[in-house]
Chain A
Amino acid sequence: MITTIARHELRSLFLSPLAWVVLALVQLLMAYIFLLNIDNFIAEQDKLALLPQVSGVTVFVIIRSLGNVPTLLMVVIPLITMRMLSDEKRLHTRVLLLSSPVSMRAIVLGKYLSVIAFFSISWLIIGLMAISLNLGTQLDIGHIAAALLAIFLMIMAIAAIGLYMSSLTAQSAIAALATFALVLLLWIVDNGSKFDGSENLLVHLSMSHHYQALLSGLVPLASVMYFLLVTAVFLLLAVRRLHRERVYG
């Protein structure tokens, strides 16, 4: 059932120009950022060689480029998730799902899976782009893998938040905006607390903190768990919301 719904959602996604535009723009922007960083690297190569601690291509080009990915994801994932549940409400198609022998959990997971599958395409291309530099030089594959894991976890978390927001309203624009706002809030929530240097609760809540931790090449379990937890919580909230709608809606 979950795969049936996921397949249907993917098919519907690719019937709309939005999906293609999102894929193309993510690709275009990432390619440009990548190019800029490579250009930079070539220009500064001589100076870098003089530094006592050599940060190679991996950090200077790839990790720097991947540092920009969250901003991109924050904007494009809500655009894809916004319609997932809100349109079913607005176009009265949710009755088809609700009168079929499908659990609410399967509906949410099926839709969620389709978003993940969709952004896996972007994720894969970004990964390939990074690894393509291996043709010319030696890369720290482990470090890149950690960074790609960070991106994938980020996709998972934002998609779950987006799906929940989409379950709250019939207006897809509101769902997109609310998702963006919440993700941005999670991203910057510890901004002020960095000044006093203390590690407080806000730091642990901050998405950027955990993202940076993974991007540095380590894979702290706490950071992985953070993203998985955010994902699970918002998926559960979405299922709960569908149940509530049946009872009170």
Chain B
Amino acid sequence: MMQTMDKQILVSVDKVGRHYGALTAVHEISFYLNRGEVLGFLGANGAGKSTTMNMLCGVLAPSHGTITVAGHDIVKDCIEAKRQLGYLPEQPPLYRDLSVDEYLDYCARLRQVPKAQRRKRISEIKKRCGLSEVGRRIIGQLSKGYQQRVGIAQAIVHLPALIVLDEPTVGLDPVQIREIRALIRDLAQDHGIILSTHILPEVQAVCDRVQILDNGRIVFADDIAALSARMSAKTLLLSVRAEPDHNALLDIDGVIAVKRVGEGRFQLEIDDANNPAERVAEYTVINRLGLYELIPRQMDLEQVFVDITTNDNALHPEGTLHPEGTSP
């Protein structure tokens, strides 16, 4: 399989699906993760992100397909595979009655950190996650931000090759979000990370590659640059008092497509290299259409996301693993 071809592949997911009774949460999906790479999982709530993460970490067994982590099958060879991974689920698995030190000690034992290294490792991890000051505090009394950090500390205490983080910044304030993102970037230097989120800028901030999940299928898979390229497809928003001729607009040099979005309002898709804004203005003035708005728009990530997840014929750029995985 893949990992024999390339030693760098840390996780490979091959045609994995998952049903809950009659409900199919994840259809056949396939993807991979290289060592030292951050892969972002984007998707609306209920798109199948958490199910996928749970399967990756052996919490749920896949209904079909195979997952290997560092060459070990997560179902058949689960103990070995789990040795290689750390997981922060959507709800951090915290024992609220324990102190941070007691909790991390338990996690380190569960994850088989050798006894001789345990104490040193825990203090290192606490430092890294900014928990040094709160070691003796009871977890249940910590703020949400600190609890989230304890959750991350728990996932990395055994220095796993793979770290899986399910919505690590949800419910945090902006300062905390920045801190957690900085921590994730720091971790990415020597761990493979899979991160799920529904916050789009987060993907841009920390990920190397992105996968968008919709209804349990991967509808987009590419690197950040490709996603940015999609975003730079520019549009002009044109608002006029009198109704212009659709075809005449399309005839203007540099206009690729015209979409009527309201009373006298048009969205013009334009050729970035040959910006027709000036010619559009000229046309409206000559024809006395009553131009009152001409706004250049760059598509932001939200639009791209909505575009990809709602568009029936979503584009599948090179590198997409499952071109057939389009939304029905």
A100 touches B60 (CB 8 A): no
Query: Using a CB-CB cutoff of 8 Å, which residues 27-72 of chain B contact chain A?
Result: 54, 57-61
Say what secondary structure dominates the interface of chain A. helix
Q: Is the CB of B95 within 8 A of A93?
A: yes
**Other-chain residue from A4, A94, A248 in contact with B110 (beta carbon distance below 8 A):** A4
Residues of A within 8 A of B95 (CB): 12, 93
User: What's the A-B contact tally at a CB cutoff of 8 Å?
Assistant: 70
A177 to B111 Cα, complex, angstroms: 34
* Most chain A C-beta atoms within 10 Å of own C-beta, residue among B82, B83, B85: B82
Contact A100 B97 (CB under 8 A): no
Cβ contacts under 8 Å, A182 to chain B: none
Pick from B80, B82, B91: contact of A99, CB under 8 Å: B82
Query: Which residues of A, 62-111, contact B by the 8 Å Cβ criterion?
Result: 91-103
B194 to chain A, nearest CB (A): 13
In the bound complex, residues from chain B placing their C-beta under 8 Å from that of A100 are 82, 107, 110-111
Residue A8 lies at the interface, judged by CB distance under 8 Å to chain B: yes
Beta-carbon nearest neighbor of A243 in chain B = B61
Q: In the complex, what residues of A have CB within 8 A of residue B109's CB?
A: 4
User: Is the C-beta of A15 less than 8 angstroms from some C-beta in chain B?
Assistant: yes
Interface residues contributed by chain A, number (CB under 8 Å): 25
Chain A residues contacting B83 (CB-CB under 8 Å) are 101
Interface string of A1-13 (1 = CB under 8 A from B): 1001100100110
Closest to B60 in A: A246
Q: Which of B61, B92, B98, B112 contacts A101 (CB 8 A)?
A: B112
Residue in A11, A15, A95 whose beta carbon sits within 8 Å of that of B59 in the complex: A95
- The interface of chain B, by Cβ under 8 A from chain A, is 20, 54, 57-61, 78-80, 82-83, 85-87, 89, 91-98, 102, 106-107, 109-112, 154
Identify 13 new A-B residue pairs, CB closer than 8 A, beyond the known A92-B91, A99-B85, A101-B83: A4-B110, A8-B106, A15-B97, A15-B98, A16-B97, A94-B93, A95-B89, A96-B154, A101-B79, A101-B80, A101-B112, A102-B110, A249-B60
Q: Which are the 3 A-B pairs with shortest beta-carbon distances?
A: A96-B93, A92-B91, A99-B87
Interface residues of A (CB under 8 A from B): 1, 4-5, 8, 11-12, 15-16, 91-103, 246-249
